[in-house]
Chain A
């Protein structure tokens, strides 16, 4: 065996020794980095929500803030995407993903300062990037709009985080690699690969012509599929059985799901260029890979469903599981939609419409963000040894987020489909001075308006989350439940 691979094989998984480190010790040692990432993530979530609301209102009321240059649509839309992606989502991944990794390794935390340095630099990088976008320094590459100058700063922070993950894994005290660890390890390895290749081939040593577009969508789609998806699934596979107190329905299926994702997903992004000027065989390969994704999705869906079925009350009584199960169900649905949208006959309608925007929110919000909310609800009481101060605020957060995103998905999918059908019909004009005429814009406007309403609901949800989190950090009320439910003390007394 090569020395490289033997580096990771410290303990025999068949001989399960009792780890010497307790979970509460791991939680305690992870406190500082997790807090740094979570606080930054939640602040970015609020900033990103503000940009989202502005962008959404501008879609149906273009005169809003039209004379204020930094918030013109092109900039504010990109600022929203980047604040949510690199600000909120990545910080949430670093907090929840690395915490789960640490817990599963069951070893003392080494080099936590690496994470602190990485966290500080990462957030400085994103801040400079967002300011760059708002002041007009943005690029035209979707998902990589931040000025390329911040690339090295983000890459450096990321390298530290990736190295920390690998070192944590190397010094693990558990022989068996749990499925969540596979997902997190995979994601930690894939993301820098994607980022470095994309930055190199688009900005540093730009490839010619459509290869740039190809690299762009290979990157853009894989950020979702090989970074957020594995991190979200890792959280679900850890927290669903953990909260219910019983192992996952089929561990075999969970591993099958991971390996099929690892082998097939990488190709799928090409479906963004269906109809574009690239070789047809490449697009066909992308479509085949997209449809192949049905395998890991079905496998994962069966597994999640069978694990939660019959435990509806337990799911309902846990804030974590409300969000996690919502996320898991959304993952299944969003993935099926994704495979379906990759078919040429469907794509000819949905391409260049709000349907795609709806699909992106289905994946990143309904699945990923909801899952991360669930993860944070489980994680913070253990990290801070305090209880969430308000059950009511958690419920407000859940209901506003669930109804808000549900409404947004209906609006964008239905509105987008109508838009696509209209775009393919040469008799329907885009716009007409005659207000009674049937136009593409006229048909789309009510759906865009309802998207803004859903955005207000999401804003309320995020504010409730922020207030609850802030009170937990600084408010005295949070300590009242110190012996509280999520810390298990009460459960043990009652049992």
Chain B
């Protein structure tokens, strides 16, 4: 039983460090402005090559037809 508890303590410590790293990362992100200005943050995936407002994926050979249909809907 003692050994069982010892191992339980070891995994509790591992688990604790695991949790602590998540808290540290959250603290880092809050401290360094990662949790501010979400509007700007959500747009970092777009750029000149793949700009906002443009669909970037169609079935091969069907783009012209498909984008016409999408324009009609809009």
Which residues of A does B touch, CB under 8 Å?
1, 5, 8-9, 12-14, 16, 19, 22-24, 104, 106, 174, 176-178, 182, 186, 189-190, 193, 197, 201, 207-211, 214-215, 218, 238, 241-248, 251-252, 255, 259, 262-263, 266-267, 313-314, 317-321, 377-378, 387-391, 394-395, 481, 484-486, 488, 490-491, 494-495
Contact = CB atoms under 8 A, between A and B. Distances in A.
Given A190-B18, A243-B56, A495-B67, 13 more contacts: A13-B34, A14-B33, A245-B54, A247-B42, A319-B57, A319-B59, A378-B56, A481-B61, A484-B63, A485-B60, A486-B60, A488-B49, A490-B64
Contacts, number: 184
**Which secondary structure dominates where chain A touches chain B?**
helix
B33 to A, nearest CB: 5
Given A24-B49, A104-B44, A177-B34, A266 B15 contact: yes
Interface string B38-61: 111111111111111111111111
Interface of B: 3-4, 7-8, 10-11, 14-15, 18-19, 21-26, 28-29, 31-64, 66-70, 73
Enumerate the 4 nearest inter-chain pairs by beta-carbon distance, A residue then B residue, closest first: A485-B63, A251-B42, A485-B58, A247-B42
A176 B44 contact: yes
Contacts of B68: 494
Contacts of B64: 485, 490, 494
A22 B45 contact: no
A245 B51 contact: yes
A238 B57 contact: no
Contact of B56 (A242, A266, A395): A242
B56 to A, nearest CB: 5
A13 B44 CA distance: 11
Contacts of B23: 263
Contacts of B19: 263, 266
A484 B24 CA distance: 45
Contacts of B57: 243, 318-321, 377-378, 485-486
Nearest to B49: A23
A178 B63 contact: no
Given A1-B31, A23-B49, A484-B61, A263 B73 contact: no
A389 B60 contact: yes
A287 B56 CA distance: 42
